[in-house]
């Protein structure tokens, strides 16, 4: 039984692990309620004669949540191949909203970066800001050529940009377009074009987070008074860009080969997975049948009749059910059968009590079912602990805390208790089934070798099913693995006798003649008919049994006797109906209790008033 509990714990771990992963993923996906991205970026760079350029940028944010500020960082380090002590300069930084209203801006220079932060208010909406500023000393002159090399979107921008368009304007037209070189770097979706001898446009779409976007424009020297630099010529720039193209093509081919290999492996994996969904369960079934044949197959007894008319042993109803269920926990119907069994053994009396009740059409007699305690039980050595718990539940927990003989509890009180306080019954029933399990463990219903095989095989099967993503194997493991448990030979024989008794009680009302054993054992038949769900069939035949002088006259059901069999059978039928209602109430209470909880909960608040975001502008 200990191994059985271990397997249940492991199974519960697997189930709750996947529930946790699934719910945790859903929680995390919905937890980030504050976010933004850039639907569009449009910028015009107007190059001036003095070597500076004016930036007019329209940056659109799509906000999810509440925001109150945004910021921008522009590195100020000098360009490569120039005087490294020289820094570019950002001046006249302004931000306007869609209506041209100036927004408050704070600027600073820190750690070699120009930083600007502006304030606004946005809640779940799209906002476009007009950023304008002048960049000084960023255009380089290499003798015969001048160059603008500017990174519009830095690699540290952690939000995607849906569309970006940058237009560069020279202060005047060049003689021929052939004198100009234009290049774009970063997203492979980008395109560049020479609009005319003075205007050059760069476009890109679906720029992912972390992807830089930069432009490079080269024109004849003399148009702009830029920063003097060395190391580049027009031909060298062409060679450098050709090398960039070669590396890009090589990277694309490498990525394409990688993607093709990935797709090939994916196809092989999918094919293998589909094949495994068919062959895997078949292999599992073969392995299962081999193990089942060796240690899980039930023992056979050729001398067990179809019907067994005696009570196989003095095993109480709850333990009989655990035996029949191969060591699984007792069900609520076992609790109900235990009540009747304790009454049959003289610990209480069940009797009908007629009561006048008012109805819409007058008065009528209602038969109440009463449970009357007949003798003390707490120190009774003949009672098992879980049997005492049943008496405690009826007369102490539901009743008036009086356990003296003669104490009476109505069946309606029990039913109402189960409906009104399911949590308390949950606690009681869990404790009760645990005591039944402890008693069953002492008796050793299941062979240790088969129990060990069941635990190991179940764990192995679930691990394989989960790792191979096989729902068929997972379901087969849960359904068939318990069949590897095998009852000990002596208990297997008794189990077959209980099955034969159940068949007998099932067909009892179909017999042409009442079996002679029924006159002496009818009260024990009644207990196990309740356990096996055959109570109605047995009570149907009780009048014929009780009118016979051979019928046992029991004292645990009031007014039972040969001279008053009709009233007695009606009373018993009424009691059985009441007990069936009680069993249904127990089942319902058990189900409700399984989901019962006290206390409350809440959700996360969205917050507001603070938050914001920023992006990096970086040039090379």
Q: Is residue 294 part of a domain?
A: no
Q: Is the domain of 321 the same as that of 179?
A: no
Residue spans of the chain under pLDDT 70: 1-32, 78-86, 356-357, 359-360, 362, 554-555, 557-620
Q: Is residue 288 part of a domain?
A: no
**pLDDT attached to residue 251:** 84
**pLDDT attached to residue 79:** 57
pTM: 0.58
Q: Is the domain of 358 the same as that of 234?
A: no
Q: Is the domain of 322 the same as that of 241?
A: no
- Contact between residue 527 and residue 502 where contact means Cβ atoms under 8 Å apart: no
Q: Is residue 605 part of a domain?
A: no
C-alpha 421/C-alpha 411 separation (Å) is: 16
Q: Please identify, among 191, 225, 249, the residue that sits at the C-terminal boundary of a domain.
A: 249
Q: Is residue 178 part of a domain?
A: yes
**pLDDT attached to residue 362:** 67
The set of residues, in sequence order, having a beta carbon less than 8 Å from that of 446 and lying 6+ positions away, is 1, 4, 326, 327, 485, 486, 487, 488
Q: Is the domain of 416 the same as that of 530?
A: yes
Q: Is the domain of 101 the same as that of 197?
A: yes
Q: Is residue 290 part of a domain?
A: no
- Contact between residue 218 and residue 205 where contact means Cβ atoms under 8 Å apart: no
Q: Please identify, among 232, 249, 266, the residue that sits at the C-terminal boundary of a domain.
A: 249
Q: Is the domain of 417 the same as that of 507?
A: yes
Q: Which range of residues forms the domain containing residue 543?
A: 317-447+486-594
Q: Is the domain of 135 the same as that of 239?
A: yes
One DSSP character per residue, 271-337 reads HHHHHHHHHHHHHHHHHHHHHIIIIISPP--TT--S---S---S--HHHHHHHHTTTPPPPHHHHHH
Q: Is the domain of 242 the same as that of 322?
A: no
Q: Is the domain of 219 the same as that of 328?
A: no
Q: Is the domain of 234 the same as that of 323?
A: no
Q: Is residue 470 part of a domain?
A: no
Q: Is residue 15 part of a domain?
A: no
**pLDDT attached to residue 551:** 76
- Contact between residue 620 and residue 214 where contact means Cβ atoms under 8 Å apart: yes
How many structural domains compose the chain? 2
- Contact between residue 465 and residue 473 where contact means Cβ atoms under 8 Å apart: yes
- Contact between residue 196 and residue 153 where contact means Cβ atoms under 8 Å apart: no
Among candidate residues 66, 46, 71, the one with its CA nearest the CA of residue 56: 46
Q: Is the domain of 229 the same as that of 323?
A: no
Q: Is residue 380 part of a domain?
A: yes
C-alpha 314/C-alpha 305 separation (Å) is: 20
C-alpha 115/C-alpha 109 separation (Å) is: 6
C-alpha 127/C-alpha 98 separation (Å) is: 8
**pLDDT attached to residue 584:** 56
Q: Is the domain of 235 the same as that of 141?
A: yes
Q: Please identify, among 233, 249, 265, the residue that sits at the C-terminal boundary of a domain.
A: 249
CATH number of 184's domain:
2.60.40.1730
**pLDDT attached to residue 567:** 44
């Amino acid at each position: 039984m200990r191994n059985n509990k271990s397997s249940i714990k492991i199974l519960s771990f697997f189930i709750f692990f996947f529930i946790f992963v699934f719910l945790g993923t859903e929680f995390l996906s919905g937890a980030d309620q504050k976010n933004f991205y850039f639907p569009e970026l449009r910028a015009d760079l107007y190059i001036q004669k003095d070597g500076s350029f004016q930036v007019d940028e329209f940056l659109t944010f799509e906000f999810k949540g509440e925001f109150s500020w945004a910021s921008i960082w522009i590195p100020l380090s000098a360009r490569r191949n120039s005087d490294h002590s020289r820094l570019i300069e950002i001046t006249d930084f302004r931000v306007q909203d869609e209506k041209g209203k100036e927004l408050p801006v704070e600027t600073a220079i820190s750690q070699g970066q120009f930083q600007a932060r502006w304030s606004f208010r946005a809640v779940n909406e799209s906002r476009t800001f007009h950023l304008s500023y002048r960049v000084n000393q960023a255009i380089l002159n290499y003798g015969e050529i001048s160059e603008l090399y500017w990174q519009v979107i830095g690699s540290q921008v952690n939000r995607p940009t849906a569309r970006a368009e940058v237009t560069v304007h020279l202060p005047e037209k060049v003689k021929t377009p052939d004198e100009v070189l234009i290049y774009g770097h970063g997203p492979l979706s980008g395109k560049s074009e020479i609009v005319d001898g003075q205007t050059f446009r760069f476009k890109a779409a679906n720029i992912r987070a972390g992807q830089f976007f930069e432009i490079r424009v080269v024109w004849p020297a003399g148009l702009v008074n830029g920063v003097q630099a060395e190391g580049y010529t027009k031909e060298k720039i062409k060679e450098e860009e050709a090398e960039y193209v070669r590396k890009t093509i090589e990277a694309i081919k490498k990525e394409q080969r990688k993607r093709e290999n990935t797709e090939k492996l994916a196809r092989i994996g999918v094919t293998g997975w589909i094949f495994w969904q068919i062959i895997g369960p078949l292999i599992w079934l073969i392995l299962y049948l081999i193990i089942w044949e060796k240690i899980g197959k039930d023992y056979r007894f050729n001398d067990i009749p179809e019907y067994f008319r005696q009570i196989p042993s003095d095993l109480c109803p709850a333990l009989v059910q655990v035996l029949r269920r191969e060591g699984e926990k007792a069900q609520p119907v076992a609790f109900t059968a235990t009540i009747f069994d304790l009454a049959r053994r003289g610990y209480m009396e069940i009797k009908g009590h007629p009561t006048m009740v008012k109805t819409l059409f007058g008065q009528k007699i209602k038969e109440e079912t009463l449970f009357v305690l007949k003798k003390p039980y707490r120190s009774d050595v003949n009672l098992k602990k879980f049997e005492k718990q049943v008496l405690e539940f009826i007369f102490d927990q539901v009743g008036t805390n009086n356990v003296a003989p003669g104490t009476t509890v109505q069946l309606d009180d029990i039913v109402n208790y189960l409906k009104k306080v399911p949590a308390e019954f949950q606690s009681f029933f869990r404790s009760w089934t645990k005591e039944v399990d402890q008693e069953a463990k002492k008796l050793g219903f299941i062979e240790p070798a088969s129990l060990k095989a069941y635990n190991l095989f179940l764990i192995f099967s679930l691990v394989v099913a989960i790792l191979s993503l096989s729902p068929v194997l997972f379901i087969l493991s849960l359904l068939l693995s318990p069949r590897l448990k095998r009852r000990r030979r002596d208990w297997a024989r008794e189990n077959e006798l209980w099955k034969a008794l159940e068949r007998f009680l099932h067909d009892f009302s179909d017999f042409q003649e009442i079996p002679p054993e029924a006159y002496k054992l009818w009260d024990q038949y009644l207990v196990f008919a309740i356990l096996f769900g055959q109570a109605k069939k047995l009570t149907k035949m009780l009048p014929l049994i009780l009118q016979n002088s051979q019928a046992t006259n029991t004292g645990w059901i009031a007014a039972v006797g040969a001279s008053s069999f009709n009233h007695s059978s009606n009373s018993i039928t009424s009691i059985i109906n009441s007990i069936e209602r009680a069993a249904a109430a127990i089942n319902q209470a058990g189900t409700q209790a399984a989901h019962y909880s006290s206390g409350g909960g809440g959700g996360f608040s969205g917050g507001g008033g603070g938050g914001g975001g920023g992006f990096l502008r970086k040039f090379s």
